[in-house]
Structure 1
Amino acid sequence: MTITIKDIATAVGVSYSTVSKALNDSPLVKQETKAKIIKIAKDLGYEPNFAAQRLVKKESKLIGLAWPTLDRMAHSVLATKINEEFTKNGYSMILSINSIQTSLDIFKRYQADGVIIFDEESTKTVHALTTIPIVSYGVGKGKDFPIVDVNYQKAMYAAVEYLAKLGHEKIAFIGDFSPIDDRQIEKYRGFQNAMQHFELSFSGDNLINTAGLSWYDGYIAAKRLLQSAFIPTAIIGTSYDISAGIVRAIREANFIIPKDISVVSYDNIPQMGNMEIPLTSVGVPVDVMAKQIVQTILRAIQNRQDVPLIQTLDPQLTERNSCAHVRNI
């Protein structure tokens, strides 16, 4: 049997409109009455008719998050933080790991108020969904819809500067050099520019391509580096997962972190502090990133013209236990 607002009104002894206002947390209903109505509704097993609410309010309080590659730690943490932010703001989130186009079709069927797209390769398909506000996370260059960006080059500069101040000159960079991933390209360029600025040498010896973004990709790339003639005093990894692989390879090669080799990683998530070696990391703190993304899509829902095309967040460096001054040999 489906419980309706009229059933609750009868049980409490108030009007239908009073129940409706109470369930919508209206200030027009006394707190004592509101609490009683909510308790009776819960006891009776009342479930709101969200479809009807959408018709009345013309909003679903639902946001779609499309992210086809949710297989890395930083992505998972960010998605969780985004969901927490939506909950604080009275919204629910649907996460889709389907293709972008399939995800957009799903969100349209659910009448989502807005969509967040995390797409590292191509965002052309977003133009297929023009009636719903869209915000993306990534590199803002060449996009014609709102992007929450990160100054990746500044992040790599901060990492190199930090290591240079510790006396490191032989710094290796391990990351994915894929030409179709704008985020990785920006990190690569940032490292090169920083090395030039601090007059530190770089070549094929200390630029190591993982050709992927997994833990294993970082592990294999680091093993290849440590078996070469060039043994760095410091390594910069371009993500949590890649750096986890780097740490394992360093330990297997019987080097000590940070006594023999210092490590700095991109991605600023709390999990960095829980690794087998707590890693010094650089990037926008994940809670800051999540809040900015959520506030941007909520602003876009209210007024698309009120949202800037590109918002670039500055990274922060968090010191932990993976870096030390260079030993004088």
Structure 2
Amino acid sequence: MSVTIKDIARLVGVSHTTVSRALNDSPLINEETKERIRTMAQQMGYSPNFSAKSLVLDRSYNVGLFFTTLSQGTSASFFYEAIRGVNSVIQDRYYLVVKGIDDYNNFQMITRRNFDGIIVVSQSEDDQKFIHHAAEKGIPLVVLNRPVDAAAGVVNVLSDEEQGAFQAASYLVEQGHSRIALIEGRAGFKSAQNRKEGFERAMRQHGVADSPDYRYPGKYDLESGRMAMQQFLALEVRPTAVFCCNDQMALGAMKAAAEAGLRVPEDISILGFDDAEFAAYVTPALTTVRRPIEQLSREGARRIIQMIEKSSLMRIRSC
């Protein structure tokens, strides 16, 4: 027979409401009482019934993690690190629902009944309709990766990609390169725009010519990196260095260079962006810019939990 919160309440000598609030880390319960209840729950092998809790507390225990898209321009490493960061914080306190915004024809299912909070890993301004809808529904909302209007209580967590790209391109110049090519990110993605602008600022500041022949519209995938490098290597005057706007494209570029019989970095330098987990395991190891997506995702998860708990506490006090 399964253990219930009423069993725990009877043994600890408190109400079942107190047990429920303690196990949900409510600020209404003091830490000493919480610890007594948690210890008893662990000793008795208590397992929470999320369905019952949802009915009692009017919460779904779902946290949504929404990406602009899961099929185009979201690399496996980016996807994995974002999920790992969020999951490391929410652990077993919530169900994590992972979706692509472009999977939805409409947003009727995006309600407070279905989501206690939502984290959006936004890559495009097209996400604004989704963000606006969630904010209008009063769902606690954190947006990562792209700056958005902070109205309606939306929390924004960002890294400075433009500056990171500027420093990366400047590093290539400092290494003596003056023929530097750029494999751009996916069109319409804010990250691609930021990284492109950082690269261009570096070229201007260092007085390096920025030739249109040394540009390729990448798609944040392996194949576009490979095709870009093939195009650069077919030029009469080849670039001596290539800055790739993510590591997936850099890996594709490295493959094309190897197929052409070139050595990296002896014959051509390749620089990536993101510091994906695989970057250190290719041969030679990929030189890349660290973009802390897992750290950003952890911070986003901490913020969303704080917002959910604050919202829940306000509902309790209004009852």
TM-score range, shorter chain: 0.7 to 0.9
Unaligned segments of structure 2, at least 5 residues: 26-30, 312-319
Query: Where do residues 187-206 of structure 1 align in structure 2 (5 Å cutoff)?
Result: 187-206=195-214
By how many angstroms is 1:56 displaced?
4.5
Aligned-CA RMSD value = 3.3
- Work out whether residues 66 and 96 of structure 1, in 8 Å CA contact, stay in contact via their aligned partners in 2: yes
Query: Where do residues 127-166 of structure 1 align in structure 2 (5 Å cutoff)?
Result: 127-129=132-134, 130=136, 131-140=138-147, 144=151, 145-166=154-175
More helix, by proportion: 2
The count of residues paired between Structure 1 and Structure 2 equals 294
- Please give the per-residue CA displacement for 1:29-48, whole angstroms capped at 9, x wherever unaligned: 785x86565343x3xxx643
Unaligned segments of structure 1, at least 5 residues: 305-329
User: 1:173, 1:214 → 2: CA distance?
Assistant: 15
Counterpart residue number, 2:180 = 171
By how many angstroms is 1:181 displaced?
2.1
Q: Secondary structure in 2 aligned to 1:298?
A: helix
Q: Secondary structure in 1 aligned to 2:212?
A: coil
By how many angstroms is 1:293 displaced?
1.9
User: 1:188, 1:233 → 2: CA distance?
Assistant: 19
By how many angstroms is 1:139 displaced?
2.7
By how many angstroms is 1:98 displaced?
5.6
User: 2:241, 2:255 → 1: CA distance?
Assistant: 15
User: 1:86, 1:103 → 2: CA distance?
Assistant: 27
Counterpart residue number, 2:98 = 95
User: 2:38, 2:161 → 1: CA distance?
Assistant: 50
Match for residue 42 of structure 2 among 20, 32, 38: 38
By how many angstroms is 1:110 displaced?
5.4
Instruction: Please tell me whether residue 66 in structure 1 is matched to residue 72 in structure 2.
Output: no
User: 1:39, 1:141 → 2: CA distance?
Assistant: 46
- Work out whether residues 172 and 232 of structure 1, in 8 Å CA contact, stay in contact via their aligned partners in 2: yes
TM value normalised by structure 2: 0.78
User: 2:35, 2:274 → 1: CA distance?
Assistant: 48
Q: Which amino acid aligns with 1:298?
A: I
User: 2:212, 2:96 → 1: CA distance?
Assistant: 44
- Work out whether residues 174 and 218 of structure 1, in 8 Å CA contact, stay in contact via their aligned partners in 2: yes
Counterpart residue number, 1:257 = 264
Counterpart residue number, 2:19 = 21
By how many angstroms is 1:174 displaced?
0.8
TM value normalised by structure 1: 0.76
1:93–1:34 distance in 2 versus 1, CA, 3 Å: closer
User: 1:225, 1:27 → 2: CA distance?
Assistant: 66
Identity of aligned residues (%): 22
User: 2:211, 2:167 → 1: CA distance?
Assistant: 20
